Amino acid sequence: MAVEELMKLKLERQSSLDMVSGKYENTIDLCLSVEQIKAGLIKQIGCRNFSVLLAIASHLNEQRVAFPNVSTIAEITGLSAPTVINAIQQLEEVTVGGNAIIRKDKIKTSTGHTKSIYHFVGAEIDADDPNIELTAKEVIELFCKYYEETFELPYTVSWARDTSMVKSKLVDKYEPAQLREIVRIAVTKYATFSNSPQYPTPTLGMLCTWLANKAAGVLVQEKEKEQAYQTKVAYAEKVAAIDSAALLDM
């Protein structure tokens, strides 16, 4: 079974401000191409298989991977577990635009059990919006990314401790766009905040205490400089426009 065009499947993460409570609300929308649905996408995949596909897709993460168990999929779709298993087997044979729509792998968990994970080849995730909500895990991964790029060393994470600390001290305190910049500044400009030979590189513990505050201060300065620059550019453009108009009148 094959669908000619690559299936347009997208997760859009949005953040909006509730004007009454003053809090940001984050939503995740699963989007499909209307044109492909009208062209018979559901018919080609099959109604039952399509519902299972959407249930799996609702668990997609940033790496285009989902790992809901069979009972979760069954609860979402209203199908029995054997029916879900059969639908997944059929979905593995579906191709869209020449690529398998999903690929299932088996991995072992820390407890020794086997777990299924699903890779979506043709899925896209719209993550360009800096206001998209960050999880503690994503903040830690961002910290590790900047750390490795800056110091050319891997950072060792204590996941249980660090995840809890990052969530309470950073995720719950800062807006997503602000937090992304704070992590960037804290790591890449660490040398400007500390010259202690005992601590030549930053840690997540530092980030969750004094380092985030230092980086937030630098972020304010950067935004003020950017605003001043944009004001100068706007003024220069205005003057140039006036001068050009004056030349036309001569």
Tell me the pLDDT tens digit for each residue of 164-174.
Answer: 999 999 999 99
- The answer to whether residues 168 and 204 belong to one domain is yes
- The answer to whether residues 100 and 199 belong to one domain is no
Round to whole Å and give the CA distance between 137 and 8: 27
CATH number of the domain bearing residue 102: 1.10.10.10
**Model confidence, pTM:** 0.48
Tally of domains in the chain = 2
Mean pLDDT of the chain: 82
- Residue 194 is part of which domain span? 136-244
- The answer to whether residues 84 and 17 belong to one domain is yes
Round to whole Å and give the CA distance between 133 and 11: 13
Confidence of residue 43 (pLDDT cuts 50, 70, 90): confident
Would you call 97 helix, strand, or coil by DSSP? Answer: coil
- Which pLDDT score is estimated for 128? 47
| Lowest mean pLDDT segment, chosen from 15-29, 134-148, 193-207, 223-237 | 15-29
Contacts of 211 (CB under 8 A, 6+ apart): 186, 190, 193, 202
Span 131-135, average pLDDT: 72
Picking from 126, 149, 165, the residue at the C-terminal end of a domain is 126
Picking from 67, 98, 126, the residue at the C-terminal end of a domain is 126
- The answer to whether residues 103 and 212 belong to one domain is no
- The answer to whether residues 122 and 141 belong to one domain is no
Backbone torsion region of residue 14, taken as left when φ is above 0, otherwise alpha when ψ lies between -120 and 50, otherwise beta: beta
Tokens encoding 233: 């550019």
Picking from 126, 158, 181, the residue at the C-terminal end of a domain is 126
- The answer to whether residues 150 and 229 belong to one domain is yes
Per-residue pLDDT of 78-101, as tens digits, reads 999 999 999 999 998 887 666 778
- The answer to whether residues 105 and 142 belong to one domain is no
The 8-class DSSP code of residue 96 comes to: E
| Lowest mean pLDDT segment, chosen from 49-63, 76-90, 123-137, 231-245 | 123-137
Residue pair 62/30 in contact by the 8 Å Cβ criterion: no
- The answer to whether residues 192 and 80 belong to one domain is no
Per-residue pLDDT of 182-219, as tens digits, reads 999 999 999 999 988 899 999 999 999 999 999 999 99
